[in-house]
Amino acid sequence: GQSLEQPSEVTAVEGAIVQINCTYQTSGFYGLSWYQQHDGGAPTFLSYNALDGLEETGRFSSFLSRSDSYGYLLLQELQMKDSASYFCAVRDRGNTPLVFGKGTRLSVIA
């Protein structure tokens, strides 16, 4: 099976940078994904890393180190609207379902 660990809560100031870490244990590895979910809303896809390194998409970046079974989501120039829950997710084989962590609740304060 798979397990993922990420902090339950993070608070950061508007305009700052925040990093949300995710460590995982899987029998295999088929990529690390990140999803954002606002309260009462649908989870939305943010990023996907299959190979080591940093992927950048606007203010959001995602990093993966397969040797450390570790990744993070980096949010820059934080805005109030970034207050949401962020989930990392992994798949251990190509034909197995996506497994989600418990999520990190990010609160952006003025």
Find, among 66, 64, 71, the residue nearest to 23 by Cα.
71
CB of 91 to another protein, least distance (A): 7
State which residue, 4 or 108, has the beta carbon closest to another protein.
4
What is the chain's Cα-based Rg?
Answer: 13
CA neighbor of 29 nearest in space, from 99, 102, 79: 99
Q: Closest distance between another protein and the C-beta of residue 76, in Å?
A: 22
Residue (35 or 72) nearer to another protein, CB: 35
Which residue lies nearer to another protein by CB, 70 or 100?
A: 100
User: Dihedral angle at the C-alpha atoms of 5, 65, 61, 49, nearest 10 degrees?
Assistant: -90
Residues forming the site for another protein (CB under 8 A): 4, 8, 30-31, 33, 35, 40-45, 48, 50, 87, 91, 94-103
